[in-house]
Amino acid sequence: MATELYKIIKEWVPSESKVIDFGCGDGSLLEDLIKSKDVLAYGVEINDLKIEECIAKGIPVVKQDIDKGLDEFESSDFDISIMARSIQCLKNPQVALHRMLSLSKKCVVTLPNLGHWKCRLSLASGKMPVTAELPHSWYETENIHLCTINDFENLCDEEQIKIKDKVYLYTQKRSNKFLQINPNLFALEGVYLLEK
């Protein structure tokens, strides 16, 4: 899934652009983008061990709690900002979206789909879903703002954020026609290219 996700993001990130990745983890996406697209990359991360991994890879990183603000970086002119699999962990996802779009004209957001049939099945049987994409129990998870793909797209609509492009990731193939009839039920992850 990560390779598939990286492939999509790489298509959207312009060569030699200035990129900021919020919740960059160990920096593997940025490392990939530096190698394949020669970007100038900055990661933002809060976990100390992951920060060390970024430093070891030679990726510039800023230790910062995204919930506490992105304002400091507003003076910098980024081409694209990325928030992969992190937006559901934030206290104010919609505020973060607007801030990202004030940092850069384009932004990439990816999120796990709580509408996936396995999650629904879990809830129908009376349990919070624990899946490969959402591996932690409700009491351990950092995901405080999970949503379905439809929920997210509605939020973008309400907040007047344009969805320039989107790709749904399924278990196996991206292009299974049958599953694409209802992505909110079958997609594991939504990958979005957003603009103001």
Partner 1 sequence: MKVITELISFTEGIKLKSGKSLSSFDLMIETYGQLNEKKSNAVLLCHAFSGNHHAAGKDEKLGIGWWDQIVGSGKAIDTDKYYVVCCNNIGGCAGSSGPLSINPETQKPYGKDFPEVSVNDWVNSQIMLMDYLKIPYWHFVAGGSLGGMQALEWSIKHPNKIKKAGIFAAAVKSSTQNIAMNEVARESIRKDKNFFEGDYYDHNVIPKDGLKTARMLGHITYLSEENMDIRFGRKFQDEESKVGQNIDFEIENYLQYKGEKFTETFDANSYILMTKAMDKYDASEKSNLDQALKEVEAKLLIIGFSSDWLYPPERGKEIQVAAMNNNIQSSYIVLDGDHGHDSFLFSSKQYSNLIKKFISS
Binding site for partner 1 (CB under 8 A): 18, 40, 42, 48, 51-52, 54-58, 60-63, 72-73, 75-77
Query: What are the E-state strand segments in 51-96?
Result: 61-63, 78-84
Residue 72 CB, nearest approach to partner 1 (Å): 6
Residue 74 CB, nearest approach to partner 1 (Å): 9
CA distances from 47 to 1, 110, 134, 142 (A): 23, 20, 19, 13
For 186, what's the count of Cα atoms within 13 Å in the CB-facing half-sphere? 16
Taking the mean position of all CA atoms in its chain, how far away is CA 181?
A: 23
Nearer to partner 1, 78 or 192 (CB): 78
Nearer to partner 1, 11 or 72 (CB): 72
In the chain, which ranges are continuous DSSP H helix? 2-12, 28-37, 48-56, 93-103, 117-124, 149-158, 177-180, 183-186
Residue 21 CB, nearest approach to partner 1 (Å): 13
153: closest CA among 118, 113, 180, 122?
113
Nearer to partner 1, 69 or 164 (CB): 69
Residue 84 CB, nearest approach to partner 1 (Å): 20
Nearer to partner 1, 58 or 92 (CB): 58
Q: For residues 144 and 88, what is the distance between their CA atoms, to the nearest angstrom?
A: 6
Residue 195 CB, nearest approach to partner 1 (Å): 22
Q: For residues 97 and 194, what is the distance between their CA atoms, to the nearest angstrom?
A: 9
Nearer to partner 1, 48 or 140 (CB): 48
